[in-house]
Amino acid sequence: MDLFWSRGYNRTSMRDLKDATRLNPGSLYAAFENKQGVFTESLGLYSRGLRREVESLLGGNDAPLDRIRRFFDNLVEGSHQDKESRGCLLVNTLIEAPADEPEIRAQAGEALQYVERRFETLIAEGQRDGSIQSQRPAATLARTLMTGIFGMRVYSRMPDGLDHIREIVNTLIDGTLAPRTN
Other Cβ atoms closer than 10 A to 48:
11
Entry pTM = 0.86
Homologous superfamily of 44-176: Tetracycline Repressor, domain 2 (1.10.357.10)
Dihedral sign (CA 153, 155, 157, 161): negative
CA distance 133 to 32: 48
Q: What's at 109, amino acid-wise?
A: G
pLDDT tens digit sequence for 134-176: 889 999 999 999 999 999 888 888 878 778 889 999 999 999 9
Q: Are 139 and 120 in contact (CB under 8 A)?
A: yes
Intervals of the chain under pLDDT 50? none
Distance CA 82, CA 103 (A): 28
Q: Where are the domains of the chain?
A: 44-176
